[in-house]
Amino acid sequence: MIPISKDKLANDLRIFGQAHGINPVYFTTVVGIIVSLSYYKDLKNWENVVPAKKWIIVPALISTAGFILMSILQLLGIANF
């Protein structure tokens, strides 16, 4: 169960997601994959990417990998987030 936030927007999004049966882990995974795919050109041309942008790309890819792992664990019934 997701804890109730004091933030009104976060609360509204949580209620909207629950009303429409949207799982927050799966939703975040899909958004993370879309964001990671937006860095495809940068990954192909990695040696020419400025270091500041690398500091954005690497955490985005690592967090997406974490959410993919969480989704797989939840699908297999090993963990419930």
**SS3 at position 35:** helix
Q: Choose among 25, 35, 36, 20: nearest CA to 1.
A: 25
Give the side-chain half-sphere CA count within 13 A for 11.
Answer: 5
SS3 14: helix
CA–CA distance, 75 with 57 (Å, rounded to integer): 27
Note the pLDDT of residue 74: 92
What is the pLDDT, as a whole number, of residue 81?
72
Q: How do the pLDDT tens digits run along the chain, 81 residues long?
A: 556 667 888 788 888 888 999 888 899 999 999 999 999 999 999 999 999 999 999 999 999 999 999 999 999 999 887
Q: How far is CA 72 from CA 9, 20, 69, in A?
A: 28, 22, 5
